[in-house]
Structure 1
Amino acid sequence: MAVSSTTATVYISRKDFLTQTPISGAIFTNSIAFATKPRRFHIRSSSEVPAETVATEADSESSIEAPKEPPSLISALNVERAFRGIPITDVDHYGLLGLQRGCSLEQVQVAYRSKVEELTKQELDEEELNKKVELLKESYTILSTEEERRLYDWSLTRSENPNRYAWPYEVDETPATKDPPPPQEPEDVGPTRLVGYFMLGWFILSVILSIGLNR
């Protein structure tokens, strides 16, 4: 019985498979490759973000802002200006509180409270009252802080006489506190006394031994 071999050529449709592969021979071997779905990337611009989200982010950023710090004169620029004899500020902090240079810290506190009470009795509107109180607070902060006041006094002295140089500590007219010094703890003389007794005993013993050996 004769076995006839046939040769067939099968064309695979491009619609279902990637390539057209001719297959020959009695045994058919089919390789099927399935096309994968391509990934799609979607890029959103900032204009597509809802306005509510932007507003929420802005509110959250504004809510975590650091509070304003009290004004300070201490800066590299102000130190350089004071060194050259240029005023670092045009505000007369002593004049605002009605004080003279060299006043004590207690006088600064009393003057600040007195000025605030005077403003509250003038029946000013809230905005104007707050502005004047802020100026008094600034003067009080500068005159009640040691470093701030030293720089301010130094600037006043240098601007009054720029041809004569003065060190910051030379113009520090803040009176020293008159508080009594803290009581000191009593000194423990016990160890010192023991060492003295030991040395005295050793000296007496050495004298006795030297006399005994010389006999």
Structure 2
Amino acid sequence: MTRILVPLEILEGESISAGLTALLEPMNVTVLGYHVLPEQTPPDQARLQYEERATDALEDLAMEFGAGEGTADYRLVFTHNRKQTFDRIAAETASDVYAIPGATGPVERLLVALSGDVAVNRIVSFVAQLVGDREIDVTLFLATDEEDAGRELLETSAQVLSEDGIAVRTELAVDEPPLEALVAAAVDHDAIVMGERAPSLRTLVFGEEAERVATESVGPVLVVRRGEEARDRSASTGGP
């Protein structure tokens, strides 16, 4: 069963919408309560001051997942580096997916982005497991400059999901800015699944693409992490 990491700024009152909780019910979940500290503040000092209040909130949030087939646990971290902490906890908990919480009601339409240098097979496999036999319609979305190859990828991926009894349609955006096209497609959907991409100069300048999508779309975004082999290769070569 896939494990999903759900990071929350616990001392800022960030919580999980009922729609996202219901969507993740079949999964194993680790709720990561975190608080980013000023550089001069030692984590141990913050833990003494805030641990009890933060732990109480985390316990309540973890219990919200108890009604589903999966399980939930929680971690509490005081950190100076948010991104490094997410990566470390994801590795420690063997989480293949992380969630960017957003506001949503019941998830009835799921947008699945396959654009860019993402692990398409991992994304499709996760979506099949997430949706299962629930009545959630899936739209496979791809923004590309290569129409024929893009259409073939969408059709192949759609066939895999259709064989599992999932209602799926495809949407191809050709020669359009990928981020803008994805955000436009997200309007009619309740949540988004996308893949983790290799770090790039654009990422450093403009921020993580998934977080930008979450900000623009408002709803929750589930990000399927790249395999360890791909991540190691990217770290050693500086690219995908």
| Higher RCO (C-alpha 8 Å, min separation 6) | 2
TM-score (norm 1): 0.19
Determine which structure has more spread, i.e. the larger CA radius of gyration.
Answer: 1
Structure 1 or 2: larger strand share?
2
